[in-house]
A and B are shown apart, each in its own frame.
Chain A
Amino acid sequence: MKKIVFAVLAVAFALSLPAVSETRLTPERSVLENGVVLLTSEQRALPMVMLHFLIQAGSRYDAEGREGLANLTSRLLTYGTRDKTALQISEILDFIGASLSTSCGQDVATVSLTVLKKDLDTGLNLLAEVLTASVFSPEEIERQKQSVIASIRAKDEDPGQVAQIKFSEALFPRSPYGRQVEGSEDSLKRADRAQLLEFYERFYRPERTILAVVGDISHQEIAQKLTQAFRPWKKGAAIKDSPPVSPPGPANIIRVNKTITQANITMGHGGVRRSDPDYYAIQVMNYILGGGGFSSRLMDSVRNERGLAYSVSSHFSAEKYVGSFAVTMQTKNETAQEAIRIAKEEIQRIRQEKVKDQELQDAQDYLIGSFPLRLDTNRAVANFLSLVEFYGLGLGYPEQYPELIRRVSQEDVLRVAKKYLQPEKLIVVVVADQKKAQIQK
């Protein structure tokens, strides 16, 4: 085990993407013949290229009872194509020291490749195979099913994750957004090769794909190479895509018992979508409440003043079709009730009185000032560009961002706090040793 345990004080605004006041991104955009939206940022400092695919093939497309299919599809992409076995694929990747990873979220699946410039063609050909000619052999399906089941169990070991899972289930009942991407042991059993192939054929299509390329290559050169390598990747049949309606579930207290020393608390309710015009005012308000690391009110009252928790934060997650608000903290079982009370008081306070002028300005200065600095790696830039496209923000977004934040007023902060913080709707999840925690209404 490494000695250095570390985590970055990245005030993780999942979607409040960093901006570029001092633009070094020079992003370019084009649409390839097959429909892939290509975004690039030429970065010549290092002989490497990063390719990041965002494909609308997330778990929200899983039919009820078949949860986990999208995730299984994503995991199996690199486990065998028509021409190569799983082992051959990993041999090629490891021999050039490249990393190829896949992941599956609720809206999108991602495929990412980091490769040395000299090995780019090898990498591109492999990517093309993975995206057009995966075979989903029964043996590999079985292997991945076992692995997913193990990871579902492993999550159960982490009380913070258990709290998150229970919170999503309660927040979005009867919606794909309330379910786990991995599905359940039960639903996984039902997944078979025919379903996986069908999912792959339908959803892994170029017109459903955003591709961000960052590194030692020009827009034109990579566009040419992609057109060449991805010749077999054709548009699919049109899909009627109606995002699920997900009304938030009612206020509730959910207790999960575990033999642990701390209560892991997640409390929150519904939020807004990324396209909501109030999004920026909400980000500023939340920075002051609990998003701003050591500068936040929750950190002051829960950690610094009372020593109740090591970490406490609040977060507005604003996705394309759904949003949520949550406060997350851990405190010893015995002080769970007190920590919840204080968090509620802070939520009330920001709804009742205007924030101080200084607080507002500090929040704006951080959000605006840190924006370009958070785009400090090729990976961060690739991720940023793909999300800018996915949320339809436009390539001018980095230039607009400072103004979007700067024009938020104290009145705006109060207004959005009143409107989007809803104490009467709080779903409170407490994973703890319940005998010691004694959570009351």
Chain B
Amino acid sequence: MRLLLGLSFFAFQLLLSAPLLAQTSRVQEFVLDNGLKVLLLEDHKSPAVTFQVWYRVGSRNEEDGKSGLSHFLEHMMFKGTNKVGPEEYSRIIAKNGGRSNAFTTQDVTVYFATMSREKIGIEIDMEADRMANALLNGKYFEPEKKVIMEERRLRTEDNPVSSLAEVTAAMAFTVHPYRRPVVGWMQDVESLTREDLRRHYQTYYAPNNAFIVVVGDFATEEILAKIKAAFGPVPRGPMPPKVKIEEPPQSGERRIILKKEAELPFLLIDYHVPNLNSPDSFALDLLSVVLAGGRSSRLYQDLVYHKRIAQSVDADYDGLSMDPSVFSVTAQVMPEKDPLEVEKAIYDLLERVKSEPVNERELEKAKNQIEAAFVFGQDSVFGQAMRTGQYEATARWQLLDSYLAGIRKVTTADILRVAKKYLDPDQRTVGVLMPIKEQNQ
């Protein structure tokens, strides 16, 4: 992440959790000769165009001792090329009325700008330029390393819930690279070299290991011509190595306690689940809504409303990851309440969805929530581009077209089946944040 201003982690999480895009997709796919895939979706309701380049590289592709490499490279991609000076990229986009940024995840690194139709060509040219010609200039390497260490302090070290998420993931995954944080361990970041960055860039930044998503107010023919002219000459690279590591099956609960200066205890329970390539993914989506979608959901009603032992609860199925990920249940515990009591209440509810089918109306409600969120999600061109890109990165963007149909087919028996299959106590990793109070002056 290049820059963080204002928006809270959780606010954005909500935005992303909502499924997006139209039922019958208007996405058009093109593939350039150098292997670069281009996904275009015209949407004329606002004068904005969002242009995104998705590289298929993230912390998933890193090795022990080199964690944080993809994210570091993302930062250095703003230090210029022979044509564009250091930090000039952002200035050029801004003075043309645009907004730009980039982010790195476990699976991908994404660069984007939102501009008007007249100006978007500027972004297209600069993205093509830095796909092949980034200087990763040594002079800016050390200051940027410090910036990233500050980023880690801000977002992880001094944030108790993020710290908990980090150590819990490191325990839920023992072999698979999802055990490492995207930003990298502090020591790893400190020891990364310019040579590491250069090699990473050469290995993964090529048209055949990337794709483009454009959504907004443009004409397909016109923008496609611009993209071809800018990206067409970028040479194809060798195919990057595939990540073949599989997480071995878990047999038995894992627990971790984090003691840190904080106010409220926090609970994070992760269960191993498949990604959206599995036919079970639709039922898992609905299960998360039955459990925690809205104030009438089971977890909210029981823990927040009736028992008043949690300040907030959530259930999140992460199907949009390249390798199998987790279904997580989280709760912020009310002051003076025992996290173990909250944990037990959660398990009681999970046992219920595993032992008896949800009722038909409850399932219909969950389906309505997902369908409405699908429509609301199309309100933003950026949101539509994100969802298209996530589907393409994980599987194929075409799966979005059958998403709602897949949701509608799910029965109460399906929910029961996936709950039994995946919410297995032997498959879970439990992280508990135990606040400690330091002496304040």
Residues of chain A whose beta carbon lies under 8 Å from any beta carbon of chain B:
1-12, 22, 24, 43, 45-48, 86-87, 90-91, 93-99, 114, 116, 143, 146-147, 149-151, 153-154, 156-159, 255-262, 292-295, 300, 303-311, 313, 330-332, 361-362, 365-366, 368-379, 434
B-side binding surface: helix, strand, loop or mixed? mixed
Stretch at the interface among B28-36, B150-158, B191-199, B240-248: B150-158
Cβ contact within 8 Å between B106 and A330? no
| Nearest CB of chain A from residue B131's CB, rounded to whole Å | 20
Question: Is B295 an interface position by the 8 A CB rule?
Answer: yes
Name the CB-closest residue of B to A153: B263
Q: Which A residues touch B106, using CB under 8 A?
A: 3
Q: How many interface residues does B have (CB within 8 Å)? A: 101
Asked if A94 meets B294 with Cβ closer than 8 Å, knowing A3-B107, A259-B438, A376-B46, the reply is yes
Q: A9-B3, A90-B296 are in contact. List 6 more A-B contacts (CB 8 A).
A: A7-B1, A7-B7, A8-B5, A24-B46, A47-B375, A366-B97
Asked if A10 meets B147 with Cβ closer than 8 Å, knowing A150-B334, A330-B153, A375-B46, the reply is no
Q: Which B residues touch A294, using CB under 8 A?
A: 2-3, 78, 87, 90-91, 94
Question: Is B98 an interface position by the 8 A CB rule?
Answer: yes
Question: Is B262 an interface position by the 8 A CB rule?
Answer: yes
Q: Which B residues touch A258, using CB under 8 A?
A: 261, 438, 440
Cα distance, A371 to B427, chains bound together (Å)? 50
| Nearest CB of chain A from residue B152's CB, rounded to whole Å | 8
Partner among A1, A97, A366, A377 whose Cβ is within 8 Å of the Cβ of B369: A97
14 interchain pairs, CB-CB under 8 A: A2-B17, A4-B105, A5-B103, A45-B44, A93-B294, A94-B369, A116-B372, A143-B308, A294-B3, A295-B95, A311-B4, A330-B150, A365-B95, A373-B47
Cβ contact within 8 Å between A368 and B97? yes
Which residues, 318 to 334 on B, are CB-close (under 8 Å) to A?
318, 321, 325, 328, 330, 332, 334
Q: Which B residues touch A331, using CB under 8 A?
A: 150
| Nearest CB of chain A from residue B259's CB, rounded to whole Å | 11
| Nearest CB of chain B from residue A94's CB, rounded to whole Å | 4
Partner among B150, B295, B321, B325 whose Cβ is within 8 Å of the Cβ of A310: B150
Which residues, 152 to 187 on B, are CB-close (under 8 Å) to A?
153-155, 157-160, 165, 169, 182
| Nearest CB of chain A from residue B194's CB, rounded to whole Å | 15
| Nearest CB of chain A from residue B215's CB, rounded to whole Å | 11
Cα distance, A268 to B158, chains bound together (Å)? 24
Cα distance, A372 to B49, chains bound together (Å)? 12
Which residues, 78 to 97 on B, are CB-close (under 8 Å) to A?
78, 86-87, 90-91, 94-97
Question: Is B305 an interface position by the 8 A CB rule?
Answer: yes
Cβ contact within 8 Å between A48 and B375? yes
Cβ contact within 8 Å between A332 and B438? no
Stretch at the interface among B204-212, B378-386, B401-409: B378-386
- How many A-B pairs have beta carbons closer than 8 Å: the answer is 265
Cα distance, A427 to B336, chains bound together (Å)? 35
Q: Residues 224-261 of chain B: 1 if any A CB is under 8 Å from the residue's CB, otherwise 0?
A: 00000000000000000000000000000000000001
Cα distance, A150 to B264, chains bound together (Å)? 8
Q: Which A residues touch B380, using CB under 8 A?
A: 376-377
| Nearest CB of chain B from residue A303's CB, rounded to whole Å | 6
Q: Which B residues touch A377, using CB under 8 A?
A: 46, 379-380
Asked if A365 meets B143 with Cβ closer than 8 Å, knowing A7-B7, A91-B296, A293-B90, the reply is no
Asked if A311 meets B9 with Cβ closer than 8 Å, knowing A260-B261, A369-B96, the reply is no
Name the CB-closest residue of B to A364: B95
Name the CB-closest residue of A to B328: A1
Asked if A9 meets B368 with Cβ closer than 8 Å, knowing A3-B182, A143-B308, A156-B263, the reply is no
Asked if A149 meets B143 with Cβ closer than 8 Å, knowing A2-B316, A94-B295, A294-B3, the reply is no
Cα distance, A298 to B155, chains bound together (Å)? 21
| Nearest CB of chain B from residue A177's CB, rounded to whole Å | 20
Q: Which A residues touch B261, using CB under 8 A?
A: 258-260
Which residues, 107 to 150 on B, are CB-close (under 8 Å) to A?
107, 114-116, 119, 140, 142-150
Cβ contact within 8 Å between B368 and A262? no
Cα distance, A260 to B353, chains bound together (Å)? 41
Cα distance, A2 to B390, chains bound together (Å)? 13
Cβ contact within 8 Å between B379 and A94? no
Asked if A379 meets B105 with Cβ closer than 8 Å, knowing A94-B296, A94-B297, A307-B144, the reply is no
Cα distance, A103 to B98, chains bound together (Å)? 30
| Nearest CB of chain B from residue A270's CB, rounded to whole Å | 22
Cβ contact within 8 Å between B101 and A310? no
Cα distance, A4 to B35, chains bound together (Å)? 26
Q: Which B residues touch A95, using CB under 8 A?
A: 364-365, 368
